[in-house]
Structure 1
Amino acid sequence: MKLVECPRDAMQGWTTFIPTTQKTAYLNALLRVGFDTLDFGSFVSPKAIPQLADTAEVLEGLDLSQSGTRLLAIVANLRGAETAAQHPQIRYIGFPLSVSETFQQRNTNKSIAQALDDVARMQELCARTGQEQVVYLSMGFGNPYGDAWSPAVLGEFTQKLDALGVGIVALSDTIGASTPATIAPPFRELSAAFPHIEFGAHLHTTPDTWREKVQAAYEAGCRRFDGALGGYGGCPMATDALTGNMPTERLIEYSQQAGEELPLNREALAEAEALNQQIFAAH
């Protein structure tokens, strides 16, 4: 089981700017924990995501010398990918491709067809730089716009990504719409149809539904999970009405119960949790 820690997702919607030094210290603490991957920042327009305008500066302050954790950066277009590709310490370049035409336009101001063109060009870029593209199928468990959704639709998208050589595809719950009934069938069917592709789950949850969501994905074959310490995301997990990121603490709990052995440094995890509380309590 692989854990992808996503401080980028936890911080990006925070309205008060978190100082660069504080971000860097927190990320360095997370690097010592032993996560498989750290979704640490994004190369997008600072007007769109002002909280992450300092990603390049933060990257310079990260200490990777004693960490096996791989870095992932999110981009919204080819220009962002080209910027990320200039930093060889970044292993993965992540791109959100929506299965909802409406959301693709809202999120990147492009059509799905145009976004797929970007994916193809980013894949070529990664082939040249030795990096790897991770495609997030956003609105992967349904959408509020009435756009078509089904496991078959996800299969059609995955077929196109497979033809381009994309090796990691993460089904992403953009709005907290996922339920066990919408989680299990896609993972079960996609894993069978594309056994050479690594599928991930980027789930959002309320405090009382996290277990059923993780269990649905895990039992359907998913072994790559995104989470964020404290369950922070666009909104913190303050009430049951909010759907923040899947709390990493809960993923660790589930992995232990499932008999998965994660190579985590518990002391470093405790330090990272303490910093997490300091940051989000102060901002």
Structure 2
Amino acid sequence: MNYEHSMSTHPLKLIECPRDAMQGIHEFIPTDLKAEYINKLLQVGFDTIDFGSFVSPKAIPQMSDTREVLKRLDLSSSKSKLLAIIANLRGAEEAVAFNEISYLGFPFSVSETFQQRNTNSSITESFDTVQKIQSLCVKNNKQLVIYISMGFGNPYGDEWSAEIVSKWVNEMNKIGVNIISLSDTIGVSNPENIIYIYSNLSKDHPAIEFGVHLHSTPSTRVEKIDAAWKAGCRRFDSALKGFGGCPMAKDDLTGNIATEGILSYLEQNNINTGLNMRAWEEAMILSSRVFL
């Protein structure tokens, strides 16, 4: 297969992730400021905004005001759709009640240790939860996005292989999940395994919309974006200026892929994003007030 010319039947979708960027910040960001920032991002033209989460406020205090933020969002002139992260059925039941939310995102780890730490349940128990959430989404006209976390390896010594990832993707496919994002939670992906895993999964499951939620250092960002694009990926999660990431990463430089890095890559390859760059520049300026 010639990855230089690999094609995709899926359109380009850029998912901006202020929720992921904000959630690890210890000092509480005022609700009005969160809403102002997300409203500005809604003007840029991203496909989706990962805006908040319906999880325990004890687990993630920064997201305890997600409902209040949602009330302040102006979707009237935005083509962007909203995604909320949930970690259990209770959170999903709350999220589906909001007409403004199109997508529910569930972190499903192929690392037993991480799944226990993240959702307080085993992989098998989490899959049972996924089935219930998928049914809930279908009934309420929402779409479930599964994030395969620790999708490229884990730091705990838990068994990992491309075959394990493929097995769980297959299980998700059986229950009707058709959007799956491969998440490099701790920044251990590289161009070789991105191309191998992504291209094989997309070949085996052509109807599924696969995306990537990569973490990287500034020096490895471009090569990871390039590998995913050449493998056929057209769905990219990112955060402005690369804010956020995983506290379990190997070093402080490992974080979310910076949105401007993806935009630069696409521009250099003459790929039109259709974004409102004036609104983008205003969001960049506003971010300095949000992320001190």
Query: Are 2:147 and 1:136 aligned?
Result: yes
Say whether the 8 Å CA contact 1:12–1:234 is kept in structure 2.
Answer: no
Aligned to 2:115: 104
Residue correspondence of structure 1 range 190-209 to structure 2 within 5 A: 190-209=201-220
Residue correspondence of structure 1 range 1-283 to structure 2 within 5 A: 1-234=12-245, 241-281=252-292
Equivalents in 1 of 2:245, 2:45: separation in Å? 25
Instruction: Please tell me the residue identity of whatever aligns with 1:21.
Output: D
Say whether the 8 Å CA contact 2:185–2:246 is kept in structure 1.
Answer: no
Matched residues, percent identical? 56
What's the CA shift string for 1:207-258, capped at 9, x where partnerless? Answer: 111011011111111110000001000479xxx8421100000010111122
Matched residue of 1:177: which SS?
coil
Aligned to 2:5: none
What's the CA shift string for 1:17-59, capped at 9, x where partnerless? Answer: 0000000000000000000000000000000000010000000
Instruction: Please tell me the residue identity of whatever aligns with 2:100.
Output: Q
Instruction: Please tell me the residue identity of whatever aligns with 1:98.
Output: S
Say whether the 8 Å CA contact 2:186–2:246 is kept in structure 1.
Answer: no
Instruction: Please tell me the residue identity of whatever aligns with 2:265.
Output: Y
Say whether the 8 Å CA contact 1:78–1:121 is kept in structure 2.
Answer: yes
Equivalents in 1 of 2:120, 2:290: separation in Å? 32
Aligned CA-pair RMSD? 1.2
Say whether the 8 Å CA contact 1:12–1:49 is kept in structure 2.
Answer: yes
Instruction: Please tell me the residue identity of whatever aligns with 1:128.
Output: K
Runs (5+) with no aligned partner, structure 2: 1-11
What's the CA shift string for 1:64-105, capped at 9, x where partnerless? Answer: 000000000000101000110010110000000001111111
Equivalents in 2 of 1:139, 1:126: separation in Å? 24
- Give the number of equivalent residue pairs: 278
| Cα separation, partners in 2 of 1:276 and 1:154, compared to 1, 3 Å | same
Instruction: Please tell me the residue identity of whatever aligns with 2:256.
Output: N
Runs (5+) with no aligned partner, structure 1: none
Instruction: Please tell me the residue identity of whatever aligns with 1:108.
Output: T
Say whether the 8 Å CA contact 1:205–1:246 is kept in structure 2.
Answer: yes
Residue 278 of structure 1: how far off its partner (Å): 1.7
Equivalents in 2 of 1:181, 1:99: separation in Å? 20
Matched residue of 2:105: which SS?
strand
Residue 181 of structure 1: how far off its partner (Å): 2.1
Instruction: Please tell me the residue identity of whatever aligns with 1:83.
Output: E
Equivalents in 2 of 1:124, 1:241: separation in Å? 39
Instruction: Please tell me the residue identity of whatever aligns with 1:273.
Output: M
Instruction: Please tell me the residue identity of whatever aligns with 2:97.
Output: Q
